[in-house]
Structure 1
């Protein structure tokens, strides 16, 4: 489907008109943002109710690894944006290369996050350790699943490197980026 066909199809979607990518990705993104919003809201409210538990849990986290992961994920978003620009210009091989870079960085994010989890588990922290760790593992684990899904989506759209498909995949990937940029300070930096 050409970009013009995609734009014409979106014209019937009202609120989605003018947004990049397929309108259905936006339905998915809005539902995912609502789910993450509820998770983050639960985290913030529970932290306000139990500041000592959250301070103790947060003190055991490795903010340096999380900071590295932030740089990795933001850089992968940049690579996905470059891939989108290349696909729009009809440069499919270049788009494929940028998307491969984004996927590779997404894989690095997963590896670093699993390393961080291994450290937490080695210290005896798990889902049942405290309210902090229950919400920490659920929230970051849910995000980690989305990183994995995003890699799969980028792999699928990279095969054809068609502009509208790449744009749709990149939109999902940027949602994953933005969520982490919001989660990182709330979980690792903001003191209870």
Structure 2
């Protein structure tokens, strides 16, 4: 019986890494498209960036990093179930706050998306950041689900996924907002 549980855990680990790598590849392709478009039309990308909110994006970066830290706290070897639950719920709540801030940011940027001179920038911006927001919402919901029924393997799996979401934002942030 123990051998079956170990084999199942190995399969779960393998599948989560396939998911993580496929998501990294998808975001990598989107970010590469953004960079290529920026090289082709640097002036309109520079002007379009002026309509973004780097302050809100910086706040969101801090939220996700803090959320990732909380997820890591839940995955500590000697964390009690109560500590795991608290850290996972806090990580999820920070993910939802990230989403609310991003939606506020989207609302203020929508009016520029229709401009023909910013078209490529905002199309790619909304695709990339919107895809990321979907991942944040999904990940936060899974964090809450795992907090409800924590298990070390489930915590390890969602923490790996959550850190992938953090990593993507850390790469996206300077490329979209600062370059």
Q: TM-score, normalised by structure 2?
A: 0.91
Could you tell me which of 21, 24, 30 is aligned with 1:30? 21
Quote the residue 1:78 is aligned against.
69
- Following superposition, the deviation at residue 93 of structure 1 comes to 1.2
Unpaired runs of at least 5, structure 2: none
Counterpart CA distance in 1 for 2:115 and 2:172 is: 18
- Following superposition, the deviation at residue 53 of structure 1 comes to 1.2
Q: Which ranges of 4 or more aligned residues in structure 1 deviate by more than 6 Å?
A: none
Counterpart CA distance in 1 for 2:157 and 2:109 is: 35
What is the alpha-carbon root mean square deviation over aligned residues? Answer: 2.2
Counterpart CA distance in 2 for 1:77 and 1:117 is: 23
Q: Is the 8 A contact 2:113 2:123 kept in 1?
A: no
Q: TM-score, normalised by structure 1?
A: 0.85
Quote the residue 2:113 is aligned against.
125
- Answering whether residue 170 of structure 2 is matched by residue 178 of structure 1, we say no
Between Structure 1 and Structure 2, how many residues are aligned? 177
Equivalent positions of 1:51-66 (< 5 A) are 51-66=42-57
Quote the residue 1:44 is aligned against.
35
Unpaired runs of at least 5, structure 1: 14-20
Q: Is the 8 A contact 2:70 2:87 kept in 1?
A: yes
Quote the residue 1:143 is aligned against.
132
Moved more, 156-165 or 131-140: 156-165
Quote the residue 2:105 is aligned against.
116
Counterpart CA distance in 2 for 1:176 and 1:127 is: 30
